[in-house]
């Protein structure tokens, strides 16, 4: 059985991806609190503790798929965005991704593996008050492009979902002072299915980018 590591498996898109990979992969579940019943090996790691990642990844025997789904967002105008917000956002959304990938590259190379980066519509176009988060997601896309070019034996896929029915999205809508309309959002399972489609695509294809939008128009 193949092996996958999914960060952000505590809920939302990450948990849905872990669930859909479980039948065909031994899944390592990165997250501080894993939902009951989610199949796999809990991997409770603080991704911001960069010095611990080398030791923590040593327990993963090999790796076919690495899914980066952990992320953080704090909305606000640039004039009110603190240095700490910039640091927190970039540290988890970009720096931790880069360091965890770097450490795991030997295992991914050995398996001709696949790196999936859950990006965002904000990684393609940024709205007002989304500056720090959008900057982190543009950086994540740049990281994916560079990794794809430098590691020809590894597939690298950036996934750009629109609004998705998650706890993070509830926080976003509260910050936007807008109604929460889950019927107009993507389901986490839908994004997970797109990830599975990319992973199971025949070896002659390289799904570089996947853009998913809700069919309904969300406010």
CATH assignment of the domain containing 178: 3.40.50.720
Decide if 217 is inside a domain. no
Decide if 104 is inside a domain. yes
Which residue positions in the chain have pLDDT lower than 50?
219
- What integer pLDDT is reported at residue 32 of this predicted model? 85
134 membership: H or E segment, kind and range: helix 131-150
Decide if 41 is inside a domain. yes
Beta strands in the chain (DSSP E): 2-6, 25-30, 41-43, 65-68, 114-118, 155-161, 209-212
Structure tokens at 77: 């105008």
Angle at the Cα of 99 (from 98 to 105), degrees rounded to 5?
85
- What integer pLDDT is reported at residue 217 of this predicted model? 63
Distance (Å, whole) CA 99 – CA 120: 20
Query: In terms of Cα–Cα distance, which of 37, 105, 71, 43 is closest to 191?
Result: 71
Backbone torsions φ then ψ of 132, nearest 5 degrees: -65, -40
Please report where in the chains the tokens 């894993």 appear, as a residue. 34
Q: Are 167 and 176 in contact (CB under 8 A)?
A: no
pLDDT digits (tens, 9 = 90+) for 135-182: 999 999 999 999 999 999 999 999 999 999 898 999 999 999 999 999
Q: Are 6 and 14 in contact (CB under 8 A)?
A: yes
Q: Looking at the 3D structure of the chain, how many domains does it have?
A: 1
Eight-class DSSP state of 54: H
- What integer pLDDT is reported at residue 72 of this predicted model? 96
Backbone torsions φ then ψ of 202, nearest 5 degrees: -55, 150
Angle at the Cα of 187 (from 181 to 191), degrees rounded to 5?
140
Structure tokens at 113: 């593996």
Q: Are 117 and 136 in contact (CB under 8 A)?
A: no
Decide if 218 is inside a domain. no
Distance (Å, whole) CA 170 – CA 33: 19
Query: Domain span at residue 89?
Result: 2-212
Q: What is the pTM of this model?
A: 0.95
Decide if 119 is inside a domain. yes
């Amino acid at each position: 059985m193949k092996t996958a590591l999914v960060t952000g498996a505590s809920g939302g898109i990450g948990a849905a991806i872990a669930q859909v990979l479980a039948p065909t992969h031994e899944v390592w579940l990165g997250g501080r609190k894993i939902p009951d019943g989610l199949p796999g090996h809990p991997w409770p790691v603080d991704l911001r503790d960069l010095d611990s990642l080398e030791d923590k990844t040593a327990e993963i025997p090999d790796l076919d798929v690495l899914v980066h789904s952990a992320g953080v967002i704090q909305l606000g105008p640039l004039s009110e965005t603190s240095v700490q917000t910039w640091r927190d956002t970039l540290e988890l959304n970009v720096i931790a991704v880069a360091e965890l990938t770097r450490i795991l590259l030997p295992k991914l190379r050995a398996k001709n593996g696949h790196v999936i980066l859950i990006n965002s519509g904000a990684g393609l176009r940024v709205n007002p008050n989304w500056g720090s988060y959008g900057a982190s997601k543009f950086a994540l896309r740049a990281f994916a492009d560079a990794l794809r070019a430098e590691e020809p034996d590894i597939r690298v896929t950036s996934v750009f979902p629109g609004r998705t029915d998650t706890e993070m999205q509830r926080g976003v809508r509260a910050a936007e002072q807008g109604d929460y309309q889950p019927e107009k959002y993507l389901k986490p399972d839908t994004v997970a299915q797109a990830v599975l489609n990319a992973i199971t695509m025949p070896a002659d294809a390289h799904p570089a980018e996947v853009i998913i939008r809700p069919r309904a128009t969300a406010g």
